[in-house]
Structure 1
Amino acid sequence: MTKKWFRMALVFTLIISILAACSGGNKEAAPETDGETAPPTAPADPDQYGDTGGLALPLVDKPTTINWMVVSEKTNLNDSLFAKEIEKRTGIKVNFQAYSSATFQDKLKVTVASGKLPDIIHGLTPPELKKIGKQKAVVAINEYLDMLPNFKKMYVDENPWVIPSYGDESGNIYTWPVANINRDVNHGFLYRKDIFDELGIKEWTNTDEFYQALKKLKEAYPDSYPYASKTKEHIFRDWAFGWGIGGANYPTYYDETAKVWKYATIQPEHKEMLDFMKKLYNEGLLDPEFMTDTDDSWTAKMTSGNKSFVTYDWIGRLDLFYNQVKDQNPNYDLRYGNPVGPTGNGKTIESITNGFSIAVANNDNKEASLKLLDYLTSPSGATLVTMGVEGETFKMEGDKAVYPELTDVPLVDISVLEDRYGLWLQGVYVNSDKRSVYFNYTEKEQEAQDKLLNGNKFEPLDPVVNFTDDETATIAEIQTSLKKLADEFNAKYILNKNYGDAQWQQWQAQAEKQGAKQIVDIFNAAQKRLDEATK
């Protein structure tokens, strides 16, 4: 679950001249409150809140108000159950400054430029956050480990790679990571089980069986293209895991056997994948529109009776498509299939990420803000921010959370919990309780989780390497144009029957000339630094 944030080069030119102002807290009131400090609600017995990871509640010994800038369509967060419960437990009154997703980025840009940072912010890119961190606008979290037992346990003791990977070259980390918010399986190959069963085709367990299944589908439905795709050039990224060349930094990936980073689109495994795709295309098994198809067109193919039967997509589609066509075709049954490719593995989704770039302003409230984030990282805080208050907002029935006040809501999801209770706020949740409704799966989605988990069908996660400013700039300069060239070559190789070994060798030479080796050298230099830091 990583976010894409905007660039702010002009903003940081302004910051240099006004940085001194950052040492003060944000005096502006939240859009929906007056922001005045008020005595906290009398705290209840701190022991009743479960495992706080060693933090003593309340977190402060005097009334404290902090400003927290968040993304939310909800305009009365300060009156929410979550805000009131935080004050009750920790003694900290949170003044949420909520902005819609449409306006948040612009507001963040103006806020950072003003030098008047709220006590907690999020949304900068990692390089942007490191820049203002070095200028002392936000705190180096590692300097406060003695008061942050949950951060220390999770990100120093249990995952010592976090600070070297997310920090700066001096070993300072300015971002509060987010943990346990991703599902184990969220995307993969999907297939029409009803059609497979009708034709007596078993689900594939390897690449050749996948090919044979597509051939049988084509024989039964000659006018069909059994495999359809809507992801355009991303099909190469999605399939790459099955050939052992996928990863979060695709097309750069880490070779676990050789212990080096490589550029995927010039590797022999990539050519093997292209050759397989080319065979599917030549035999009419791969939709000719795989590089150009639209969502609507692809949907029509996958929901009709005889156009396409296999694809790669999000697991929510398993039930979404059925609900869309069940009146016309009650037997429609889209299911999660095994990975395709020699490794037999699918994508591994990271359990820890710095994607939100949550940071604490370097002002008088910094210790209270840090402690609050640490509490939300604890099991007790994770339950509060992603589930609510047991016995008040929810109760457990078996292994499922039930919300008595929401029995009239057809589907209780995280957007409903945000609207009703102020839970699951972007930029606020830093850990999750796996009993949350976010991890409630339908029968088909649970089958997808079980299939990969029980078979351990996951490619290893690549290391998280950290780049210098110069390295980041070089990668940005080379990567976009190089990947575009790779996508163009991939398409030509599959679509043009005359493309073969000679064109492949020409592409390898072209890619090297366009900077593939330079990118790989940067990744390997960063890997060397990470290895040294985590010895």
Structure 2
Amino acid sequence: MTRKGFRKALLLMLLCALLVTGCGGGGGKDDGTLSPDNPVTFSWLVYDRVEGKVRDDWEIFKEIEAKTGVKVEFQVVSQEGLEEKRQIMIATNTATDFIQVPTQDGREHGPEKVFLNLQDYLDKAPNLKAFYEKYPEAKALATGTDGGLYTVPVLEGDAEGKGFNFIWYARKDILDQHGIKPPTTVDEFYQFLKTLKEKYPDSYPLISNSIVGDTGLFTTFGRIFTGIHGFYSLDPTTDQYAFAPYHDNYKAMLEFLNKLYTEKLLDPEFSLLTQAQWEERILTGKSLVTYFWKADLESLVAKARDAGIPEYDLDAIPSFAADGIKNYQFSRPVVGTVGRAISAKVKDKERAVQFLDYLVSEEGTNYLSLGIEGKTYTMEDGKPVYNKDFGASPFNTLRKDWGVWYDLITLNNALSREAWERGLSEKSKDINARYAEYIIPAPKQIVKTEEELELEKSKLNNLNKFLEQKVTEFVTGKTPINDETYQQFIDQAKKLGADELLAMYNTAYTRTYGGK
């Protein structure tokens, strides 16, 4: 070989070496498959939960990296700053490689090239393909106007619609001490609170941790008096969306809550309470009855006893409803309102989809939802059950020490809840059995058109603010409750778009599911 030929050959070898080196990094190109021998790094937006902060040394992610070659770099924000950060990322098209967003945002911004179209990669993502086939509702929620798939919606509940989240709590030790019977009707509930107030005059027996949301005071009593969960929701008796204030009983609900407020049976600061204040008042006996997450009952009992109240005990009291109103609670929805998306700007698109496909696989799902067999869970009768050493609220340890069942990380909360409920105490299992008769399947989410989304954006926020403010004024007596003031309330709600929104929800629901 001539010297010139040798130099050419050496140059070619060096160029090949540089190309190979470039392919080994996080942004290089390869055949699109995951491999521990070909590492890649992806960024992922998360927030710190109260149970424990996000860590970069969780064992499940070490095992995932050992099997896939994927290293995850969490970009951590506060829970309070999450929504703003997410919206800025969407608006500026600077999302992290992996990000959890409302499925609505996925449908809206995916076609704008903010999120990767997963439809283009399903031939290399068998688990994703199977997921969309198994959950057509999830596919509908993930599908943009261009037909692309932009999110993997998070699973929340079992397909049978039996799992549920909320119960009425009351101080069992106090009920037992005074022989007070749990209420089963609205009138009995009022007398129940009156009796507690007589026994404990310094207390405000009823407390709520919020005014809206699933455990909110207005949501809970709206359902009790009208059968509508929230201001807008599907009426299970008609299979149509309804606006709760239009119901004949909504004014009666306001009068009932105003009576509780006036007679000091309801915490006077109900509209201002923080979560910490709610918990402090429940634990110290300043309040004795609440509607909240069933998962927290036993941990609250343990906190009170650890704080020096050995007799403290909580138990569920029956669900109740006004005369003629269906007594129910919606189950957890099978498919949630948020989903995992991949940034359209991710450098290694194929391996990003492959990684998401792995996380949806049985092995990936088990890591994120259950953890590591033998360490965080065991198999009993072929079913996973969390380590009993983690106590009645295993999610605290799972999230803090393992990154398992962690919001914005797991994709299957339903699997986590099933494993948790298999290990429940006999008391919690008994509560589940007592509430089973009230649980009905949650309504499926509706898919809105761009025009419907614009209508909702332009009307709903202002309407909700008005409703929250005005209902609070009615309950506290700032605005008297009579036919004239109630009609003014309804008229203003109409001016703010109540009718337009109601028509839109029913149109979208019928279009998406045929009204079923």
Structure 1-normalised TM-score?
0.73
Name the CA distance, whole Å, in 1 between partners of 2:430 and 2:77.
33
Deviation digits for residues 221-241 of structure 1 (CA, Å, limit 9, x no counterpart): 455433233424631023333
Cα deviation, residue 299, structure 1:
4.6
Aligned partner (choices 44, 54, 71) of residue 69 of structure 1: 44
CA–CA separation in structure 1 for the residues paired with 2:202 and 2:395: 42
Instruction: After TM superposition, give the deviation of residue 337 of structure 1 in Å.
Output: 2.4
Q: Which residue of 1 aligns with 2:352?
A: 369
2-structure distance, mates of 1:381, 1:369: 14
Structure 2 CA distance for aligned equivalents of residues 232 and 368 of structure 1: 44
User: Which residue of the other structure, out of 445, 450, 465, is the alignment partner of 1:464?
Assistant: 445
Which residue, out of 249, 253, 257, partners 1:277? 257
Taking the aligned partners of 1:201 and 1:37, their CA distance within structure 2 comes to 69
Contact 1:67 1:97 (C-alpha < 8 Å) held by counterparts: yes
1:355 to 338, 342, 346: 338
Separation in 1, partners of 2:226, 2:123:
41
Distance (Å, rounded) in 2 between the aligned partners of 1:323 and 1:38: 53
- The gaps in structure 2 that reach 5 residues or longer are 1-20, 48-52
Tell me the SS of whatever aligns to 2:321: coil
Work out whether residues 127 and 469 of structure 1, in 8 Å CA contact, stay in contact via their aligned partners in 2: no
Q: Per the alignment, do residues 391 and 82 of structure 1 end up closer, same or farther by CA in structure 2, a change over 3 Å counting?
A: same
Distance 1:501 1:110 in 2: 45
Identity %: 26
Alpha-carbon distance in structure 2 between the residues aligned to 1:333 and 1:347 = 27
Change (3 A) 1:203 1:353: same
SS at match of 1:253: strand
Q: Which residue of 2 aligns with 1:192?
A: 171
SS of structure 2 residue aligned to 1:311: strand
In 1: Cα distance, 2:245 partner to 2:42 partner: 47
1:511 to 490, 493, 510: 493
- Alignment deviations for residues 47-101 of structure 1 (CA, whole Å, 9 cap, x no partner): xxxxxxxxxxx86799463524242755645xx5434533554xx3112121222
Q: What is the CA-CA distance between 1:391 and the residue it aligns to?
A: 4.8
Matched, 1:212 2:191: yes
Equivalent residue letter for 2:46: V
Call closer, same or farther: CA 1:130–1:466 in 2, change over 3 Å. Answer: same
Partners of 1:274 and 1:490 within 8 A in 2? yes
Equivalent-residue separation in structure 1 for 2:327 and 2:336 (angstroms): 26
Matched residue type, 2:287: S
Shift of 1:394: 5.2
Q: Which residue of 2 aligns with 1:529?
A: 511
* CA distance in structure 2 between the aligned counterparts of 1:281 and 1:94, rounded to whole angstroms: 56
Mapping of 1:406-421 within 5 angstroms?
413-414=394-395, 416-417=397-398
Deviation, structure 1 residue 113: 7.6
SS at match of 2:501: helix
CA contact (8 A) 2:70 2:355 kept: no
Q: 2:232 maps to what in 1?
A: 252
1:488 paired residue number: 469
Deviation string, structure 1 residues 126-152 (Cα, Å, up to 9, x no partner): 454335421345333344445544444
Tell me what 1:130 maps to. Answer: 107
C-alpha distance in structure 2 between counterparts of 1:371 and 1:391, whole Å? 27
Contact 2:295/2:393 (CA < 8 Å) preserved in 1?
no
2:180 — aligned with what? 201
Query: Where in structure 2 are the equivalents of 1:144-163 lying within 5 Å?
Result: 144-156=121-133, 158-163=134-139
Name which of 66, 82, 94 aligns with 2:60: 82
Match of 2:245 in 1: 265
CA contact (8 A) 1:164 1:171 kept: no
CA distance change for structure 1 residues 159 and 331 in 2, over 3 Å: closer, same or farther?
Answer: same
In 2, Cα distance between equivalents of 1:71 and 1:154: 23
AA paired with 1:521? A
1:97 to 49, 73, 80: 73
The C-alpha deviation readout for 1:453-493, integer Å capped at 9, x for no partner, is x32x1254233112233432332222222222222332333
Q: In structure 2, what is the equivalent of residue 229 of structure 1?
A: 208
Offset at residue 414 of structure 1 (A)? 4.8
Task: Indicate the RMSD between aligned Cα atoms, in angstroms.
Answer: 4.2
Change (3 A) 1:286 1:114: closer
Q: How does 1:423-462 map to 2 (within 5 A)?
A: 423-424=404-405, 426-431=407-412, 433-434=415-416, 436=419, 441=424, 445-452=428-435, 454-455=436-437, 457-462=438-443
Aligned in 2, Cα 1:169/1:270: closer, same or farther, shift over 3 Å? farther
Residues 328-343 of structure 1 aligned to structure 2 (within 5 Å): 328-342=308-322, 343=326
- Structure 1 segment 28-39 matched on structure 2, within 5 A: 35=26
What is the SS of the residue equivalent to 2:69? strand
The answer to whether the Cα contact below 8 Å between 1:87 and 1:93 also exists between their aligned partners in 2 is yes
Amino acid of the structure 2 residue aligned with 1:465: I
Query: What is the rounded CA distance, in whole Å, between the counterparts of 2:203 and 2:74 in structure 1?
Result: 50
Gaps of 5+ in 1: 1-26, 41-57
Aligned partner letter, 2:484 = A
Identify the residue that residue 18 of structure 2 maps to in structure 1. Answer: none
SS of aligned partner of 2:249: helix
TM-score (norm 2): 0.76
- Secondary structure of the 1:464 match is coil
The aligned amino acid for 1:197 is D
SS in structure 1 opposite 2:136?
coil
Report the Cα distance in structure 2 between the residues aligned to 1:417 and 1:293, rounded to whole angstroms: 28
Distance 2:431 2:182 in 1: 13
Q: Any conservation in 2 of the 1:239–1:340 contact (CA below 8 Å)?
A: no
Cα contact 1:360–1:370 (8 A) shared by 2? no
Q: Is the 8 A contact 2:222 2:250 kept in 1?
A: yes
Corresponding residue for residue 400 of structure 1: 385
C-alpha change, 1:509 and 1:382, in structure 2 (3 Å) is: same
Deviation per CA, 1:181-231: give whole Å up to 9, x if none. 799343332111111112212222333332332233234345543323342
CA deviation string 1:411-466 (max 9, x = no partner): 994565466555445544222544655975456544443332x32x1254233112
2: CA distance, partners of 1:355 / 1:466: 13
Cα distance, 1:333 vs structure 2: 0.9
Partner of 2:282: 302
Does the CA contact (< 8 Å) of 2:138 and 2:152 recur in 1? no
SS at match of 2:336: strand
Offset of residue 261 of structure 1 = 1.9
| Change in CA separation of 1:224 and 1:63 when aligned onto 2, cut-off 3 Å | closer
The alpha-carbon deviation at position 500 of structure 1 amounts to: 2.3
Question: In 2, distance between residues paired with 1:152 and 1:36?
Answer: 25
In structure 2, relative to structure 1, the CA distance for the partners of 1:423 and 1:284 (3 Å cut) is closer
- Paired residues in the alignment total 473
By percentage of residues, which structure has more helix? 2
